[in-house]
Amino acid sequence: MIAEHWDVVVVGGRIAGASTAWALAPYAGKILVVDASRPTTFWPQQSTWDRTGNLAWAELGLLDTVLACGAPRTYGDTYRVGDEVVERVYPLEDEYSYRMSVSREVLDPALLAAARGRGNVTVLRPAQVRDIVVDADGVRGVRLRHERVDRTVSCDLLVLADGRLSRNAVRVGAPAYRVVESPWFALLAYYENLPLATDRSYFSLQDRSVLICTPCGDKQWCVALDLHQSLIDEAGEHPARLFDRMVGDDPHVGPAVAAGRRTTSVGGAGRMRMLRRPMSGPGWCLVGDSGYHLDPVTAQGTRAALVTARILRDRIAAAGSVGDADLSGLTGERDAALEEDWAYTEQIVAPGPG
C-alpha cells in the first residue's frame, strides 16, 4: 500500500542526486533523497574539474558550497608528455579560470547538507530503492528499505541519480542506446603532507597511462592513475600494486609520495562502459552517470552530471513546478549539450583506425 507521497523522489545522493535535489527544491513541495551508501564509505571516484566544471557548479548555484569545502584552487599545472615537461598557466578568461579537486568524502556530504538546507528535502541514508512502482501511465513511486523496514512511497517525479550501474534505469524502461566498452582502468588514492605546490596540479601522459595529481584539501592530495588494460595485462600485477609502483616511479610525484603518507586504500574501477540512456519518460528522469556515463579518463563526469541536473532544473523552472513540467525531448537536449565531451572521451577510449 502506498502511504506517503512526495513531489520528487531522487534515488542516489551524490553529485547528481544531491545537486538535483538542491536545484529542484524551489519548484517542488517535498523531495525525498534515498541513498544506499553509508556516510563513512570510501568512494573511490575522483572529482577534479576545470573552468567548465566551475561554470556548471555556478549555473546550479552550488559553487559557493563547493568552494566552502576548502580545496585549493589551482591556476596552472606541470604537464608531462613522455619526457617533455611544460609548465602551464591557465588562461585567465574570467573568475572561474581555475581547476579544483574535492575529495568525495567532503564534497558529497556538503552537497547533501546544502540540499537539506533548502528545508523541503529529506534524506534517507543508508536506504535502498529495491523496486519501482509502475502502472499504465508510467512511474508512480518506489519500494524502498530503510532501517530494515520496507516502505512504498509515491511521487510525481522519480529522478534516478543512482550511478553508471543503475538497475533502476532498466526497471523504468531506459535501456542504453549507445555503449562504448572502455579499455581503461581508473584508480586513485588520497595522500597527505606531500611536498608539492598547492596552487598547481600535475598531469603525466605516458604510453597507455594518465597520471593526475591535484591538491584537494588542507595538506591533502588526490593521485589518480588511468591505466590501459593492456598495460595491466602485460605487467601481470594487481592494479593496486601497479598503481603504487607507477606512482612511486613518476619523477614528479614519486619523491613526493615517498615523503608524505597515503591515507586511503587504492580504489577505482575497470571494465567500464561509456553509455547513454534516454533522459526521461513518463514520471521519470535520469541525471548523472545513470543516464550518461563518460569514461573517467577525461575527467568530465562531474561536469556532465551537473549539466544533466541543470537541464532538468531549467525545464521544470520554465514550467513553474514539477507537476506542470513536460519532460519530453530532454534526451536530445542533453546529448547536444554534451556532444563535445562524449566525442573527446570516445576518441581516447575507442580511437578509430589511424
Q: Which residues bind ligand FAD (CB under 6 A)?
A: 11-12, 14-17, 34-37, 44-49, 128-129, 161-163, 168, 186, 188, 224, 268-269, 288-290, 296, 299-303, 305
Residue (37 or 198) nearer to ligand FAD, CB? 37
Residue (113 or 259) nearer to ligand FAD, CB? 113
Q: How far is the CB of 11 from ligand FAD (least distance, A)?
A: 5
Question: What is d(CA 129, CA 284) in angstroms, rounded to the nearest whole number?
Answer: 14
State the helix-helix crossing angle for 15-24 and 301-319, rounded to 10 degrees.
20
Q: How far is the CB of 322 from ligand FAD (least distance, A)?
A: 20
Residue (78 or 168) nearer to ligand FAD, CB? 168
DSSP 147: T
Cα–Cα distances in Å, from 33 out to 146, 162, 352?
A: 12, 11, 41
Q: Which residues pair with 204 in a beta bridge?
A: 80, 211
Q: How far is the CB of 320 from ligand FAD (least distance, A)?
A: 26
Beta strand 273-276 pairing with 127-135: unpaired
Residue (52 or 321) nearer to ligand FAD, CB? 52
Question: What is d(CA 247, CA 213) in angstroms, rounded to the nearest whole number?
Answer: 10
Is the distance from CB of 297 to CB of 186 less than 8 angstroms? Answer: yes
Residue (48 or 74) nearer to ligand FAD, CB? 48
Q: How far is the CB of 189 from ligand FAD (least distance, A)?
A: 10
Residue (310 or 323) nearer to ligand FAD, CB? 310
Instruction: Please list, in sequence order, all residues whose beta carbon lies within 8 angstroms of the beta carbon of residue 222, skipping any fewer than 6 positions away.
Output: 46, 48, 101, 103, 188, 189, 190, 191, 212, 213, 214, 216
Q: How far is the CB of 293 from ligand FAD (least distance, A)?
A: 7
How is residue 240 written as a grid cell? 593496486
Q: How far is the CB of 72 from ligand FAD (least distance, A)?
A: 16
Instruction: Please list, in sequence order, all residues whose beta carbon lies within 8 angstroms of the beta carbon of residue 303, skipping any fewer than 6 positions away.
Output: 49, 52, 53, 56, 341
